[in-house]
Amino acid sequence: MADGFNPPGIWQPNGRAFSQGVIQGAGEVVHVTGQVAWDEHDQVVGIDDVEAQMEQCIRNVRTVLTEVGGVLDDIVSMTIYFLDRADLPAIQRVRSRYFTAGTAPASILIQVAGLVVPELRVELVPVAVVPHDRFRRP
């Protein structure tokens, strides 16, 4: 599990789902390919709905981590690429459903001009550390 912290004397998350720092525990480091809102049939889920797309991205990340014995709380950092600043509240809402203070990953949000196909609005690129006692090679 990620061990997040938010020291005094620096700006705070104020309810947003991220930690200023995360201590990487003992385990296997798993780098996950950027996950977009494609389902298992390569169809975009939630066209024009960033919240639905974030949910699909999280499902995809969970599927990858489950394959090696991981869970979402094992994520220590996450880069989020997004298209439109107006989507940030929806992105934060979804993050808050899955990550809480103390286990939220260190994060960065990067606004981009576009993703791999025009219908996509968001992409997640997480790094997780799966504890040795749960890790299994696929």
Whole-angstrom CA distances from 92 to 66, 87, 108 are 23, 9, 12
User: Residue 117 — pLDDT band, cuts 50, 70, 90?
Assistant: very high
Looking at residue 14, its pLDDT comes to 80
Burial of 117 from C-beta contacts in 10 A (0-12 / 13-18 / 19+): exposed
Using one digit for the tens of pLDDT, what is the confidence trace for 58-108?
A: 999 999 999 999 999 999 999 999 999 999 999 999 999 999 877 789 999
- Specify whether domain 3-10+17-130 bears CATH 3.30.1330.40: yes
* pLDDT of the residue at 10: 76
What's the pTM value of the predicted model, to 2 decimals?
0.88
Residue ranges per domain, the chain? Answer: 3-10+17-130
Q: How far is CA 8 from CA 5, 11, 13, 36, 104, in A?
A: 10, 8, 11, 35, 17
Q: Is the pLDDT of residue 2 over 80?
A: no
Please give the torsion angle defined by the CA atoms of residues 24, 93, 13 and 5, in that order, rounded to the nearest 10 degrees.
-20
Are β-strands 122-130 and 75-82 bridged in parallel, bridged antiparallel, or unpaired? antiparallel
